[in-house]
Structure 1
Amino acid sequence: RESQSNSPRPCPSSPRRPRRPQPLERSMAWITTASFNPSSLTGPYVAGGAAAASPRSSAYPDWVLLRKTARISAFRNATTAEGRTAEGRAVEASFWLVDPPGVSYFSVHCPGLQEEPQVVCAEAAFVLFRVRFSFPSERRISTHHFVYTARGAAGPPSLQLLPEPPGVEAVKSHQLGLLPRGGERYAVAFLDRSWTARGDAWQWQFDAYVFSSETCSWSKKEASLGLSESDAALLRPYATSKQIVVGASALGWVDISRGITVLCDLFDERPVVKYIPFPATGVCIAPYYRLTRHSAQCFHDVACYDGLIKFVEIGSNEPDCMIKGKGWRATTWIRNISWRSWRKHTRVDVANISVDPRYSALLPELWNHETHKLELKKLVFLLPTLSVRNDDLLYIMAKVGGEHDKAWVIAVGMKSAVVEGLAPVSTGRYCPSTMFSPCAFPSYLNNMTQGNKSEEPLVGCDGGILEEEEIQAEHRIRGPDMGNPVVKYFKR
């Protein structure tokens, strides 16, 4: 294997049938870069393999694309933290981390747990997730929220049960938001809203419940409204899909189809509720698999970095861009919470995105025999995800065919219009629009004392724990000229 040439194979100069993927042991040779632009990504997923990537000197990635749905598993590693539910059940949470665009995941172990836990939100060193138990015979559901803290140099990771705010009958996960406070301190906000009569008029009333990790207690505050009539009207059919931090004392609850409800001055006696509508566009959000709430997530995403909000929209001049062969374009806007309007930032058309021809071994279906190029639009587009770093990378999930369980997460440089990396992921039975959450907490683990890595199960690039015979091959994760080896999915 060491004697194999690392030079890229030339792409076919005339139409021919795509070559059959090589057997695993013959197809896993590293290749060198030739004409690639240096990538801002790290790890083995970038075009050209490890040679094209920025070297990572730390044990964990700076940030990850985390699958929101956990695996129920007793596997442990150096990231494992332990806690207990309100009823005293032991809970263990572990994270299995790979560089983007590879997909990371987390696992939870708890006696009697049958429903897979879900990530609610993640900011800085913290991950807020939900664990839920169903008791059909008693006709009740027991829901518990935990905050995972990556302590880093201060000690091992920890897991804290979040008590329910007093006087609230049922806490819905999408009403919670997480705000880092520096070091190991954090706050959790629960935003409760109601349609209330005030004299002869009806208006929104927002109550903010704030939990402090320092006092381990909740406080309740009635928020004042900084809403115009048009903003208040947009809030009526509001459906929260994610939460973002938009300042040192401000949280945003995102309705991915309309805009962001922002709770400002969270720690003042009288917080203020504002609303930021998304840029007005001509894209018509149609129901996707009859799930109207999820359909917008197939075309929009929102992220915030250092107070700058980023919004992306996938648009198309054709009726349905979520069909193989249809064209689409991605447009990003940026906005600070103090600005009066959005500013258009970048735009790229799928027809202009350059895909290195060496990826033809991984995705021969993209090859155009007439132009002798790979065309990204031949994939079935699923959803966009914005980076949480100060860069212009957009991560898109796409499939070769809509019926396949295997998809690809593709990193696209919005300014360079170049595919900078891709990685396979198993979608299985999960709804693609709710799969991933960008998280920065792994960077806080890098100063932590490492355990015995040889005793930890290794994670595959599709989010599965590897069997022994797969480990050696997986250490040489595929570059664009490595064929299309099949990776076994996670075994329950």
Structure 2
Amino acid sequence: MDMAAPTVPYRTTAPTLPESDGHEDGSSGGMVLLDRWCLIADLPNASTGVGTTSTGLRIQATFHPARPPLLSRFCVHCPGLDFRRVAPKIIASDADLVLLCVPVNPDSIANARGLDYFVYRPRAHRLDLLPNPHPVYLHDSMTALLSRQDGAWYAVAALGLGPPVYKGGAPISWDFYLHLYRSTSSSKGWTSKRLSVTEFIRDKFIPIPASVDRLYHETGKTITVGGEGGTVAWVDLWRGIFLCDVLDEFPALRDIPLPCPARSNRDLFLIQYDPSYFRDVTISRNRDSIKYIEMEMWSPKEPMNTTSTPVSYVDCVLNNTRKSQVIRDDWKATTWSMPMPVIGSSCEHWHRDCEVGVKDITLGASNPCRSNLSFSEIVEMFKELPMVNPTISMDDDVVYLLSRTSPSPMDKLHVVFAIDVRKRTLQGLTKLDVQPQNSVCMVTLCTSEICRYLRNITGNFSTLAIHHLVFLHVTICMNAMLAIFKI
């Protein structure tokens, strides 16, 4: 597991942070985008929470909402800490609570001792410092926050990896560890429980050749489902989902396989390419279904492979045939859903919802695009740009795609496109404020339900009326994104 935290551009002052102007008309669909990396700025408002670091320093965090597709941001102010190497970041969110990670010792960020974890509680104007989990390291993508009893107490749950257990040279179980903190616990500390998977369900549906070395489950995203048992979904975007009621006395992992990789993505799966460029999973807002999307992307310069392709993924693996015959024409997206509560552990419960390609999308002049680009520029941009990092909405059929304009004169311009895959229309776009560093440009976005709970806070939040928000996590590493189209 890579425990090194990535560096980000250091900002001593924040750019203009527009406050939300309300969503009463419902025109934005309730989506609020939040920059996962916090800004370093002293810009307090009615949401500011205050706490104390493990080193005794006063620290404050402030939420600055903005109407989507503009970015909402968190500002962190702690004059005694040096954030030039690593900035504070958002790890997880549930209801109005947000889990923040703050580096208090930049020289020790590879282990938990160099990091402080705070739960931001805006209605109480507090930052609660959690007990340090050392020697456990909380991996960002494997950690969830659960708000309980309207924020009266909360829990933090993280999944850890254990070694596989072998018998006769063959694995008989995969071990994991559930690390749990409850704010109501009398011990005020972390507990750990061993969880084992002995029935390899996803191996039956998405087998891996013996030559491919990978773990049974590699978490790329964690989703708080909630409910009485505090259900958390740990998502391996290539193979499946672990569901676990983390607050039960005897929690257990339940394995839900994802649909098999699309034909043009099978090679990428077998070489263990980052699946977040092609796939996403979320839970519907009312928790009645799991939603999944997969994109297939091709370079228009890449010739079509005429090698015959087996009908199924299983045939492809068993026959050791990895070449795919696909139409080389930009991208295609397919969405699926599975009703909840989930019955059984079969891929057969996934239902194909929508399928749309780039040429199917209608671009109307009335689309609400948050951009000063002309309509002709928008049309040309959408046709020519590669799209990555699909993120599917919790509430409707909108999918958010990230791209980067190229070449000049619009170089360095990063854009989020909102597409309704059922209506096959472009709903809008927005430019992102991105500053490149060392030729690698990374943008990381997420969201929180926080605004839904802040209507009664006075000041800048008095006009904020949002019925729901969606988790959105999109990451772009430019070098990796361009490499996709060289495969």
TM-score, normalised by the number of residues in structure 2 = 0.68
Task: Give the counterpart of 2:280 among 292, 301, 306.
Answer: 301
CA RMSD for the aligned pairs?
3.8
- SS in structure 2 at match of 1:357: coil
Counterpart CA distance in 1 for 2:177 and 2:361 is 46
Asked if residue 396 in structure 1 is aligned to residue 401 in structure 2, the reply is yes
Counterpart CA distance in 1 for 2:451 and 2:97 is 10
Distance 1:330 1:452, change over 3 A: closer
Counterpart CA distance in 1 for 2:29 and 2:146 is 22
What is the total number of aligned residue pairs between the two structures?
385
User: Contact 1:61–1:442 at 8 Å: present in 2 too?
Assistant: no
For residues 27-426 of structure 1, the aligned pairs below 5 Å read: 55=25, 62-110=30-78, 111-114=80-83, 115-136=86-107, 142-151=114-123, 156-165=124-133, 168-184=135-151, 185-195=153-163, 197=165, 203-215=173-185, 216-225=188-197, 227-228=199-200, 230-231=202-203, 236=215, 238-248=217-227, 249-263=230-244, 265-280=245-260, 281-284=262-265, 295-305=274-284, 306-307=286-287, 308-316=289-297, 327-335=330-338, 336=340, 338-339=342-343, 340=346, 341-357=349-365, 362-364=372-374, 366=376, 376-388=382-394, 390-401=395-406, 404-426=411-433
- SS in structure 2 at match of 1:148: strand
**Deviation at 1:410?**
2.1
Distance 1:414 1:121, change over 3 A: same
**Deviation at 1:136?**
4.1
Residue by residue, what CA displacement relative to the aligned partner does 1:240-264 show, whole Å, maximum 9, x if unpaired?
Answer: 332102341211122333332222x
Q: Which amino acid aligns with 1:178?
A: L
**Deviation at 1:397?**
1.9
Distance 1:296 1:206, change over 3 A: closer
Q: Which amino acid aligns with 2:44?
A: R
Q: Which amino acid aligns with 2:140?
A: S
- SS in structure 1 at match of 2:127: strand
Residue by residue, what CA displacement relative to the aligned partner does 1:273-328 show, whole Å, maximum 9, x if unpaired?
Answer: 1222321122327779xxx877421211221123321111111465689xxx9521
Residue by residue, what CA displacement relative to the aligned partner does 1:68-89 show, whole Å, maximum 9, x if unpaired?
Answer: 1111112222221111222222
**Deviation at 1:143?**
0.8
Counterpart CA distance in 2 for 1:138 and 1:318 is 38
Counterpart CA distance in 2 for 1:137 and 1:394 is 38
Q: Which amino acid aligns with 1:174?
A: S
Match of residue 445 from structure 1: 454
TM-score, normalised by the number of residues in structure 1 = 0.68
User: Contact 2:101–2:115 at 8 Å: present in 1 too?
Assistant: yes
- SS in structure 2 at match of 1:284: helix
Q: Which amino acid aligns with 1:416?
A: K
Q: Which protein has greater RCO, CA pairs closer than 8 Å, 6+ apart?
A: 1
Moved more, 278-287 or 379-388: 278-287
Moved more, 237-246 or 107-116: 237-246
User: Contact 2:55–2:104 at 8 Å: present in 1 too?
Assistant: no
Unaligned runs of 5+ in 1: 1-42, 45-49, 454-492
Unaligned runs of 5+ in 2: 1-19, 209-213, 303-327, 463-487
Q: Which amino acid aligns with 2:232?
A: L
Moved more, 428-437 or 293-302: 428-437
User: Contact 2:173–2:197 at 8 Å: present in 1 too?
Assistant: no
Match of residue 7 from structure 1: none
- SS in structure 2 at match of 1:447: coil
Distance 1:193 1:398, change over 3 A: closer
Identity across the alignment (%): 26
Counterpart CA distance in 1 for 2:109 and 2:414 is 40
Residue by residue, what CA displacement relative to the aligned partner does 1:139-171 show, whole Å, maximum 9, x if unpaired?
Answer: 9861111111243xxxx4322112134x73433
Distance 1:211 1:452, change over 3 A: closer
Q: Which amino acid aligns with 1:410?
A: F
